[in-house]
Amino acid sequence: MKGIYLINSLEGGGAERVFSNLVKIQSESETLNSFSVILLDNKKVAYQLPSEIHLNQLNGPRPSLKNLIDFLMLIKKEKPTYVVSFLTRANFFNVLGSLIFGYKSIISERSNTDGRLNKRFYYIKKIVTKLVYGKADKIIAVSKGVENCLIENYFINPKNVVSLHNPVNINMIEKIAKDSNVSITKPYIAVMGRLVTSKCFDVLIDAYALADIKEDLRILGEGPELERLKCKVISLKLEKKIHFMGFQKNPYVYIKNAGFFILPSSLEGFPNALVEAMALKKAVISTNCTDGPSEILKLNQLIPAEEYVETEYGIMINVKDKIGLSKAIRTLSLNESLKNKLAKKSYLRVQDYSPDKFRDKFVEIIVNTLANQNNEKPLI
């Protein structure tokens, strides 16, 4: 049987990093290792794939119709048994292709579906998403919260949805973190992610200013919010304390040398940066955003406004609560024993997300989906 793995691009980003890791894991598997990769967009490849994997890169993202036609023509030529896709456009293309050519479509939902549909044309987009996702043979949700959203808000058949957390290759992360050194001597705390509004770096900057700690703040990532965030830093006169590090091919070396790690997002699916920081034995602070962090850190109580709570595996605050976040930052900065305790807890927690467990579950999902050959999907 022949498979295809499909994504918009492999430029910097959490979903892209997980996709590339998945391809590497599957290429080393004894089963289902006959596949190729399609990238819809003609963009720089930041995450390299194994040399033996055949890569097809199309000329997207625009014009969108031509991008879709090019994809369908390639699918017609390749004749796959199944296609696994990441991200919304790739998911839509995947399901449409399966309706035309009859292969099994397995789509991966990387964040809360409701959360990523912005207010403009929200109801139209929700109806379209419901119709398209309802035709997929299987949906892999990156967390239980994402799975529940699809079932409860998009009326997806529960039998067609399964949750599977991202893998965390602790040995690889530790090895890469040792590959080079950071020539930064002044203590700092780290955050990582695309500079977009849903990551709430503006709230983090305000909270950091209120915390008034000795450590600098280093932000790893790039994105459309960069200039606005830089202006905010200047307005707060924190240019010497807050540093924008851009996209880093090896972010782990920076996280390894940080005092602790913060996830300030309002929306996540399964926050890769959070668990990767935990794999490097970092104490973590996270918002209780949709979805993922509460599952990872085992939150079992309400978080009071303008406060933080200590969970089993970290510290959590409410979304966009700069007062609560500032208190959490200041606490970890000053309380070395708490920071060390949570660092040990972090490392213990990520043992549950090993690549071997992930690979076995992923292969099981594909095999079970392919075995269900009677699952006919009408075109309308």
In a structure prediction context, what are the per-residue pLDDT tens digits for the chain, which is 380 residues long?
Answer: 899 999 999 987 778 988 998 898 888 877 787 899 999 999 999 888 998 999 999 999 999 999 999 999 999 999 999 999 999 999 999 999 999 999 999 999 988 888 777 677 888 999 999 999 999 999 999 888 899 999 999 999 999 999 998 888 899 899 999 877 788 889 999 999 999 999 999 999 999 999 999 999 999 999 999 999 999 999 999 999 999 999 998 999 999 999 999 999 998 878 889 999 999 999 999 999 977 899 999 999 999 999 999 999 999 999 999 999 999 999 999 999 999 999 999 999 999 888 888 888 999 999 999 997 544 554 43
Instruction: Report helix, strand or coil for 332.
Output: helix
pLDDT of residue 380: 36
* Alpha helix stretches (DSSP H) within 134-246: 144-154, 170-178, 201-211, 226-235
pLDDT of residue 373: 57
Q: Do the domains at 3-167+355-371 and 170-353 have one common CATH topology?
A: yes
pLDDT of residue 378: 44
Rg for the chain, CA atoms, rounded: 21
Q: Which helix (H) or strand (E) holds 278?
A: helix 272-279
pLDDT of residue 29: 77
Query: Tell me, which fold does domain 170-353 have in CATH?
Result: Rossmann fold (3.40.50)
Contacts of 125 (CB under 8 A, 6+ apart): 117
Beta-bridge partner residues of 221: 246
Q: Give exposure, 13-24, as e/b (b: 16+ Cβ within 10 Å).
A: bbbbbbbbbbbb
What type of residue sits at position 78? E
Give the chain's length. Answer: 380
pLDDT of residue 4: 97
- Phi, psi for residue 222 in degrees, rounded to 5: -135, 165
Q: What are the residue boundaries of the structural domains of the chain, listed by start?
A: 3-167+355-371, 170-353
pLDDT of residue 70: 97
d(CA 108, CA 330): 37
Q: What is the CATH number of domain 3-167+355-371?
A: 3.40.50.2000
Read off the DSSP letter of residue 196. S
